[in-house]
Amino acid sequence: MKDVSIIPFNGKAPHIHETAFVAPGCRLIGDVRIHEGASIWYNCVLRADVNYIEIGARSNIQDGTVIHCDEDHGDAAPGGPSIIGEDVLVGHMAMLHGVKLHDKSFVGLGAIVMDFCEIEPGGMIAAGGMLTPNKIIKAGEMWGGRPAKKMRDLTEQQQAMNLMGVAHYVENAKAHKTAVEGG
């Protein structure tokens, strides 16, 4: 991969499915697992030095996003990986730290999702929102603000539009992969 840093750390190296797209400028460190059809866009940092990061099939991590995980401190404070499910859309410049994003969830532009937070299927944090530790966005809810609070329930049509965004990124990633590889 052209201009991508793939750095093993503590005996663990990033694993990238052959159909995934990782854009130039990305930094993948340690136990990063990227599944089929996923895309990691320009200048993202995924640092799995103290736990693991998993990016599910067809999920996209858009430009400038930073993902880290939480270290295990034994009985005093268990750590947490960052697990992004399948068909998840993560907007530009998001920051995720020790989170669980269920299948078909959505993180808006510039949002921050902190330790031990979860976004259930079809749930969404709006652009610029900050989800403080241990919060759960239930299926189909939209939260926003700093700190984030529930704003409303999303309609089925709005959830379907979010999934259309995922489908767009899957196709766009194929075109970018071809362009980057010189095809």
| pTM of this structure | 0.95
Average pLDDT over residues 49-66: 97
Convert the pLDDT of each residue in 73-106 to its tens digit: 777 667 799 999 999 999 999 999 999 999 999 9
Convert the pLDDT of each residue in 110-126 to its tens digit: 999 999 999 999 999 99
Phi and psi for 48 in degrees, rounded to 5? -110, 65
Superfamily classification of domain 5-180:
Hexapeptide repeat proteins (2.160.10.10)
Buried b (16+ CB within 10 A) or exposed e, 88-117: bbbbbbbbbbbbbbbbbbbbbbbbbbbbbb
